[in-house]
Amino acid sequence: MSAIDPQQYKQDAEVLHSEQAVSSAILSIATALNADYQGHTPTVLSVMTGAAYLTGQLLPHLTFPLTLDYVHATRYQGGMEGKTVSWIVKPKVEISNQSVLILDDVLDEGVTLKAIVDACQALGAKQIKVAVLVDKALNKTKPIQADYVGISVVNRYIFGCGMDINGWWRNLPAIYAVKTVG
């Protein structure tokens, strides 16, 4: 962890999307999922740890039956820069020949999410869709696109709503951005 006081991160950041905007985005995702999954029973895979917030806020709004599991793959290991994908937990439920809906906090560079989709394909999933709370706009092509996006943001370091800064502040109900210098 950093020597900085966690409160300082929040004090030095700006709110990009309020709690109300985030709640509205999650309801929008739920509405789209409810329309697309009526009559289906997908397996929902929540990508830990970041998607815990989205999953907890989204599930009560879903009106179709589902099986819930989680995966844990990361490139950040508590830091602020991505490295190679590290698998901590792969799906425990059978996903062969199943429709799979992957929930994640943010689609940043897409490397981790692509690795998760590839793993689900290798396990025989018949259909894979991805829902993210946040899609970050980058100046490069991502290896994967989300099927459902709540909020789009500019390329800044963001935290809150499941996303952390040095391991802290996943619990914030709004989306914050580290202030740019200058």
Q: What is the CATH number of the domain that holds 119?
A: 3.40.50.2020
**Domain annotation covers residue 134:** yes
Does the pLDDT of residue 81 top 80, yes or no?
no
Q: In whole angstroms, what separates CA 51 from the centre of its chain?
A: 5
Q: Give residue 37's pLDDT.
A: 98
**Domain annotation covers residue 137:** yes
**Domain annotation covers residue 145:** yes
Q: Give residue 5's pLDDT.
A: 86
Q: In the structure encoding, which two tokens stand for residue 11, read together? A: 């004090």
**Domain annotation covers residue 92:** yes
Does the pLDDT of residue 2 top 60, yes or no?
no
**Domain annotation covers residue 47:** yes
Does the pLDDT of residue 150 top 90, yes or no?
yes
Q: Give residue 88's pLDDT.
A: 86
**Domain annotation covers residue 1:** no
Does the pLDDT of residue 63 top 80, yes or no?
yes
Residue 167: give the domain boundaries.
Answer: 6-178
Does the pLDDT of residue 182 top 50, yes or no?
no
What is the pTM (predicted TM-score) of this model? 0.91
**Domain annotation covers residue 29:** yes
Nearest-angstrom CA–CA distance, 118 and 141: 18
H or E element that contains 10: helix 6-11
Q: In the structure encoding, which two tokens stand for residue 112, read together? A: 């981790």
Does the pLDDT of residue 1 top 60, yes or no?
no
Nearest-angstrom CA–CA distance, 98 and 25: 27
**Domain annotation covers residue 81:** yes
Q: How many domains does the chain have?
A: 1
